[in-house]
Amino acid sequence: MNLPLTNGWGEKHRLFVKWKYIEAKAAAYYYHGLILDEGNTEKSHGMAVAALQAADEYFKESKKACEAFNTALPLSRNPPLWGTMKYLSEKIPKDTSSKVRINRDLYSHERIMETAPTLPDFALALKPDDYLLPTVHPSWNEENINRGHVGSNQVKGDRR
C-alpha cells in the first residue's frame, strides 16, 4: 500500500493502523471465545479454546507490530499499556492457558489450532448521516487575503 504522505509519516501511519488492527482482532477473538465458552456442548468449548488461542496469537503479533511502529522513523517510545489493552494483556494469556488446561483431555493442541472459528460478521450499528460542506465564506477568497482585507468578523481598526 502506498500512502500519499510524502513527509515521511506515511510508513509510520501504515504501521500504526496495522498495529491497532491486530489488537482489535485479538480483542474480538478473546470476547468471541468467552461467548462461545458459555455454550453447553463439547464443540462450543473446543471452538472457545480455539478462539482464545487465536486471541493469544494475535496479542503476541500485536506486540511485534507495536515494536515495528515504534522503531520506524521518526522513532517513538513504546507506550505503557492502558485502557482495554492493559486489561486484555492480563486476561488473554491467563484465560487461554486455563481453558486449554481444562479442555486438554478433550482436544489435541493441533486440532484446536486448526479450527479457529471465524468471527461473526455484525452489521454496523451506526450509520453516518449525509453531510454537505458549508459554502466557502467570502473572507477565504484569495483576492481578499492578498489585499489584506479585514474579515467580516473583525472591526476595521482591529488588526489582530
Q: Residue 135 carries which side chain, given as an amino acid letter?
A: T
Return the number of other C-beta atoms located less than 10 Å from residue 65's C-beta: 19
Q: Which pLDDT score is estimated for 43?
A: 76
pLDDT digit string (tens) for 81-125?
788 888 888 888 888 888 877 776 665 555 555 667 788 777 766
pLDDT digit string (tens) for 62-84?
999 999 998 988 888 888 878 88
Q: Which residue has the cell 483576492?
A: 143
Report the alpha-carbon distance of residue 160 to residue 11 in Å, rounded. 39
Q: Where are the alpha helices (DSSP H) in 10-151?
A: 10-37, 42-71, 83-103, 109-114, 142-147
CB 115 within 8 A of CB 46: yes
Domain positions in the chain: 10-114
Q: Is 107 exposed, middle or buried (0-12, 13-18, 19+ CB in 10 A)?
A: middle
Q: Is 86 exposed, middle or buried (0-12, 13-18, 19+ CB in 10 A)?
A: exposed
